[in-house]
């Protein structure tokens, strides 16, 4: 049973990681050029870069990038709804596995209190005890950020799919 849960959770981990993309290899902006829009875009990218660092350090606090009402739309499983469910999933995964991720943001656009980010990510999940690689993947993703009352940007909605042709 533990093996079944683990096998199910690893693809979900790959899905969830994509929400945090932010290290742009080809920075583009689909939004207007106002100073506020550029500042918001830079803030979103910085937030995601810090999140990537936390993931790679094994720091569970990276989940704080999710809004309380976040929804992760999973391609091969049920949606993960709410911060508590997302945090519980990652806490369970990180007990047994380490993750190394790299995000390549291709586009960020700001529209008022919403922003979207589109790109790709690579993810390697390894067993902590043996260092055996359990999964390596490259996927495409889109996620939507929502500006919070305190002015921060948090992941609100996210979707991922395969980068394979």
Q: Determine the pLDDT at residue 18.
A: 43
For residues 27 and 46, which has the higher predicted lDDT (pLDDT)? 46
pTM: 0.80
Q: Mind spelling out the 3-state secondary structure of 69-106?
A: EEEEECCCCCCEECHHHHHHHHHHHHHHEEEEEEEEEE
Domains of the chain: 2-162 (3.10.450.50)
Residue 72, both tokens: 């992760």
Least Cα distance to 121 among 136, 138, 108 occurs for 138
Which pLDDT score is estimated for 31?
Answer: 45
Residues 6+ apart with CB under 8 A from 39: none
pLDDT digits over 111-127, tens only? 999 999 999 999 999 99
As a whole number, the mean pLDDT across the chain is 84
Confidence of residue 140 (pLDDT cuts 50, 70, 90): very high
């Amino acid at each position: 049973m533990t093996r079944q849960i683990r096998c199910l959770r690893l693809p979900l981990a790959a899905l969830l990681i994509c929400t945090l993309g932010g290290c742009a290899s080809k920075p583009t902006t689909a939004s207007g050029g106002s100073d506020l829009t550029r500042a918001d875009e830079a803030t979103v990218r910085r937030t995601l870069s810090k999140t990537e660092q936390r993931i790679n350090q094994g720091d569970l606090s990276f989940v704080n990038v999710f809004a309380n009402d976040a929804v992760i739309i999973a391609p091969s499983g049920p949606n993960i709804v709410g911060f508590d469910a997302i945090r519980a999933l990652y806490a369970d995964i990180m007990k047994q596995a380490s993750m190394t991720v790299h995000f390549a943001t291709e586009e960020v656009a700001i529209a008022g209190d919403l922003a979207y980010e589109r790109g790709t990510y690579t993810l390697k999940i390894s067993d902590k005890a043996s260092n055996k690689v359990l999964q390596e993947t490259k996927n495409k993703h889109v996620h939507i950020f929502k500006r919070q009352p305190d002015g921060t940007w948090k992941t609100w909605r996210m979707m991922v799919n395969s980068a394979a042709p």
